[in-house]
Amino acid sequence: MTLQEAAARFTEKSGAEMLLTLARTPDDKLEWKAEPTARTAMDFVRECAVHCDEWAQLLELFEWPHEFRTRVGSILTREEAVLEMNASVARLAEAIRAVPDGKLDQMLKVPWEEAPIGCWVTYAAGHNQYHIGQMNFIQTLYGDMGMDF
């Protein structure tokens, strides 16, 4: 299996896991906050859905997208989040699979650092996993102690 294929599958898996976690979140807890400045489960899904789409742009163009994170506020419902997440994960997985082997060692600069494209192909999946953990933690804060995350 190529690095690109493994990264694409990891991305698809992380998107599916995020949507499973979202499905377990009751409607009345989608926007629940432990504190006024805290983020919600929907905040994380919105961010990851948009991030995957924009990360796809990064890997299609090999440059930082100019409109990064501008659509986060346009995802208002669970249904919109599911549609956006499915579409953006599919686009990103396709973009990852399309990265030529010869590009994997090429350096690509994003605002916080520069790294080989071979490192960046797995970045969005790790980002999704990180936020899934935060969603799981939020569930425990409102009393859901089930271990079927």
pLDDT digits (tens, 9 = 90+) for 20-30: 999 999 999 99
Express each pLDDT in 33-85 by its tens digit: 999 999 999 999 999 999 999 999 999 999 888 765 566 667 889 999 999 99
Verdict on whether the full-model pTM lies above 0.85: yes
Give me the residue spans of the domains in the chain.
3-141
| Residue 33: alpha-carbon gap to chain centroid | 20
- The span from the CA of 71 to the CA of 65, in Å, is 13
Q: Say which CATH topology domain 3-141 has.
A: Four Helix Bundle (Hemerythrin (Met), subunit A) (1.20.120)
Do residues 134 and 23 make contact, with C-beta atoms less than 8 angstroms apart? no
pLDDT at 146 over 80: no
